[in-house]
Structure 1
Amino acid sequence: MDYLPLFANLKNKPVLVVGGGRVATRKIELLNRAGAHIQIVAQELCEELIAIHKKNKCEWISTTYQSQQLKRVFLVIAATNNSKLNQRIYKDASSRYLLVNTVDEPQHCSCIFPAIIDRSPIIIGISSSGTAPVLARLLREKIEALLPAHLGLMAKIAGEWRDKVKERFFSLSERRNFWHKAFNGVFSNQVARGQLNEAKLTLDQQINDDINISSGEIFLVGAGPGNSDLLTLRALQVMQIADVLLYDSLVSEEVLDLSRRDADRICVGKRANSHSTTQEEINFMLIKLAKQGKRVVRLKGGDPFIFGRGGEELQAAKSAGIPFQVVPGITTALGVSAYTGIPLTHRDYSQGVLFITGHYRAHDSITDWPNLTQSNQTLVIYMGSITAGAIASKLIINGRDLQTPVAIISRGTYPDQKVLIGTLNELEILTHKIPTPILLIIGEVVNLHHQLSWFKNTENEP
């Protein structure tokens, strides 16, 4: 281990920074966040440092460096573009047993600044021991994506209850068990939802009543249109804490692989003419698993509130008294239109967009066909592979031009995405030439596909 990771309390402690450029500014901004008393030595200050100085957040003590400036200093930062001066500062500081950081010169450092993830009071530092700082920053970005924003607030509240927990539970194992339940249970979820008063009440109940408040919760999560790059940050965070995932057939393996490794995965997908799990069975499973105290992620393709029947599942959870959260996703229409270069609205072609489903219950049907045939709007049809012919006929009968451009997109946003371009009177024929699942886009904006298409592996047929 080249460096021992330490976290230093710099509040009101003097720190000498030699240098007045942008590199020094970045260090000073961090030092200010830590509450240090910053003393600057520099011939001149850059605009950013001048602004910081005017706010009295640093003290400009001299224009030239002198070794006596190291007296009564806690930490030294050498941030000049003069290598000889930086080396001199390092030697002077080291001879006084002071910690010194020399920017971009690890051989002249007795301490280094790590890549920082700040969820105060939770702080995570990542270091490559000065060998590959860019790699350390990349690792920080990946880890930061996994840490929820409420982590720091949860830690602050826990700090307020620390003495109470010590008074109530005498053994270390009891205290650990208490906090393990809190950080993985209702308390954590309430903080995430911003229900701080309820979260504090939960901690009090756990302390005073010694009851097991480890009831489960349902997370309704949108997995996006398929490409794992389009998964939201919050969805990734929730999938990392799930005990069980109930997922649809349209959720890609790439997305599933981002979930917690030891989580149970249950496919409850429903496909046209081959329902593997009924909606009633899914509702029953969600409630049953949550009542067992498990964190259940219901993972749906696209967005759960856009033809995903997410509302029905939450109604069942509400009736059963199960707490729930909703994590929206990029709905299929938005993701696929972006990946095919077909903007759903455009000032010259479309002033509105309608989303409809081509899959209905037996007693349902579309009745407002005149509203769907307006030439200045885009029509997006989910699950329309079986009913494409009937939909095209109804649109044409009700006045939509049979030469209206249409796009049939298979596996949109995936590497093997395919796009067929044609006209409304060809819609049924084209849907049989491309594998499901598909999305249909109807309207003049489809003509922009040839100009704006950017994603690989698209196919265009007249």
Structure 2
Amino acid sequence: MGSLNTFPLSFKVKGKRIIIVGGNDEALNKVRLVSKTTASVEIYSQTVETDFSAFPVTIIPRAITADDVVGASLVFVAEESDAAELAKATARRLGIPLNVVDVPAECDFYTPSIVDRAPLTVAISTEGDAPVLARLVRAQMEAMLSPSVGKIAGLAGKMRHAVEALIHEGPKRRRYYEELVSSPAVARAVEAGAGDAAANDLLQQHANAGSGEGVVWLIGAGPGSEDLLTLRAQRLLQSADVIVHDQLVPAAVVEMGRRDAEQICVGKARGHHSFSQAQINTLIVRLASEGKKVARLKSGDPMIFGRAGEEIAALRKAGIAYDIVPGVSAALAAAADTATPVTLRGVSTGFVVATAHGADDTDLNHWAALAQSGLTVALYMGKAIAAETAARLVSHGAGFDLPVGIVVNAGRADRTFYSGTLGALAEGAVEFVDGPAVILIGRAVAHGDWAQAASAAAESFKVA
């Protein structure tokens, strides 16, 4: 995720002056935006070419002077003239924010595409680089937000003093507002003109309720790319009071939570555990017992090598409510990255996931038989012992020529592929790039797209 060159904010203009220099169509475009505010809008130009009569603006048909600029809150320059240059110089000297239309390098700020549901506004900006894209995103947002959402936002504002008087705990207040703005019943009441009564009834319900019971959501964060997070996961992250996340969950996913949510990294990585599993269990139970909504964010899917079973057992023992949100597991991301059909008619009748770390001879014998019978085997946590595991599988009867594909950082932009055969992998260790790996073994692997893969050992297999 790139860094911003501008900081998005909402600028107060109530009771202030906004100046536009220019009487052309470019000036009209700015008038359409700023006339939606409660500021007084003044247009200065010796040549007024456009009809501004549909907007509540004051037109001064002369060249602007330095004195005119004094006291303005914003200055827009939409023409090229000596007066325009004077206006720019004066605004810069006085520290008044300046926008020069179609000249991003001279702008102190950019005018975004705005979705207007006053008092709710959504501003979309591309820092002047792609205004067409901003308009397209605006169209999508217009379709998403119902016309009544502005009325609901206004209702939330009207309720502020009453909420502060009746509910003194921050988390309880937030839960009230979350239900107020998301409840279909409240939305229907607003449309029917009964929004105030519905908001007050809901407030009484929340004020009379206890502190509320905590809950833990075990959420799969997927393999790392934030756009592989599910919509449900994203919604719950926005509701969580605390986000307890693993080391492999990238910051971009964690930051999808509320800005004021507490973030706790429990930092479990190979060779380094800052929290033991028992400590994690105790932590999430304690947080939920305090009435908090806890997002337990795990890489991949929480039910696949995520130790979710141990955490669920602790939550059940403590009587804590929990829910599970699935995520894209690394093996599925690896299959997608390489277009590998892990089940394929006439080739592979099934798909098995296992962990190579700590596997004994019984496990290896079972996997070797499965791979030899046609199933695709996906091994997690085996990068450091890939050659050793391959050699042991061969010794247990797996075919020397079984195709092998390895994906490091599956599902991410920096993913890396390796391909070969089981026997070739067994002949020597491979220097893999950093990151978690998934090892795919089986005949179906040969039907994937491994054209860009590096050799997993001394040779790469050839797709028939």
TM-score, L = length of structure 2: 0.58
1:248 corresponds, among 227, 230, 246, to: 246
1:434 corresponds, among 432, 435, 453, to: 432
2:15 is aligned to: none
1:2 is aligned to: 32
Q: Does 1:323 align with 2:321?
A: yes
Q: Does 1:217 align with 2:215?
A: yes
Q: How far 1:443 sits from its partner (Å)? A: 1.3
Contact preservation (8 Å) 2:224, 2:299: yes
2:11 is aligned to: none
Return the alpha-carbon distance in structure 2 between the equivalents of residues 269 and 323 of structure 1.
Answer: 24
SS in 2 for 1:239: helix
Return the alpha-carbon distance in structure 1 between the equivalents of residues 134 and 379 of structure 2.
Answer: 44
1:269 is aligned to: 267
After superposition, what is the alpha-carbon deviation per residue over 1:99-140, rounded to whole angstroms, capped at 9, x for unaligned?
A: xxxxxxxxxxxxxxx99899xxx9988799xx9685244157
After superposition, what is the alpha-carbon deviation per residue over 1:239-288, rounded to whole angstroms, capped at 9, x for unaligned?
A: 23332222112112332333333333222132333332211110001111
Return the alpha-carbon distance in structure 1 between the equivalents of residues 133 and 140 of structure 2.
Answer: 11
1:173 is aligned to: 164
Contact preservation (8 Å) 1:219, 1:325: yes
Q: Closer, same or farther in 2 for the Cα pair 1:366/1:188, shift >3 Å? A: farther
Q: How do residues 276-291 of structure 1 correspond to structure 2 at under 5 angstroms? A: 276-291=274-289
- Root mean square deviation of aligned Cα: 5.3
Return the alpha-carbon distance in structure 2 between the equivalents of residues 324 and 186 of structure 1.
Answer: 22
After superposition, what is the alpha-carbon deviation per residue over 1:21-80, rounded to whole angstroms, capped at 9, x for unaligned?
A: xxxxxxxxxxxxxxxxxxxxxxxxxxxxxxxxxxxxxxxxxxxxxxxxxxxxxxxxxxxx
Q: How far 1:299 sits from its partner (Å)? A: 1.0
1:382 is aligned to: 380
1:392 is aligned to: 390
Return the alpha-carbon distance in structure 1 between the equivalents of residues 228 and 270 of structure 2.
Answer: 25
2:444 is aligned to: 445
1:332 is aligned to: 330
Q: How far 1:344 sits from its partner (Å)? A: 1.5
TM-score, L = length of structure 1: 0.58
Contact preservation (8 Å) 1:221, 1:299: yes
| Structure 1 residue ranges without an equivalent (≥5) | 7-90, 95-113, 193-199
Return the alpha-carbon distance in structure 1 between the equivalents of residues 412 and 371 of structure 2.
Answer: 30
SS in 2 for 1:317: helix
Of 308-317 and 345-354, more deviation after overlay is shown by 345-354
Of 294-303 and 342-351, more deviation after overlay is shown by 342-351
Q: Closer, same or farther in 2 for the Cα pair 1:365/1:442, shift >3 Å? A: closer
2:257 is aligned to: 259
1:42 is aligned to: none
2:294 is aligned to: 296
1:424 is aligned to: 422
Number of residue pairs matched by the alignment: 347
After superposition, what is the alpha-carbon deviation per residue over 1:197-218, rounded to whole angstroms, capped at 9, x for unaligned?
A: xxx9xx9997398343333321
Return the alpha-carbon distance in structure 1 between the equivalents of residues 423 and 212 of structure 2.
Answer: 57
1:46 is aligned to: none
Return the alpha-carbon distance in structure 2 between the equivalents of residues 210 and 226 of structure 1.
Answer: 42
1:357 is aligned to: 355
After superposition, what is the alpha-carbon deviation per residue over 1:144-174, rounded to whole angstroms, capped at 9, x for unaligned?
A: 99x9x9x99xx8xxx9xx9xxx9xx994633
Contact preservation (8 Å) 1:117, 1:125: yes
Percentage identity across paired residues of the two chains: 31
Return the alpha-carbon distance in structure 2 between the equivalents of residues 142 and 231 of structure 1.
Answer: 20
Return the alpha-carbon distance in structure 2 between the equivalents of residues 361 and 227 of structure 1.
Answer: 29
SS in 1 for 2:394: helix
| Structure 2 residue ranges without an equivalent (≥5) | 1-30, 38-50, 55-112, 184-197, 460-464
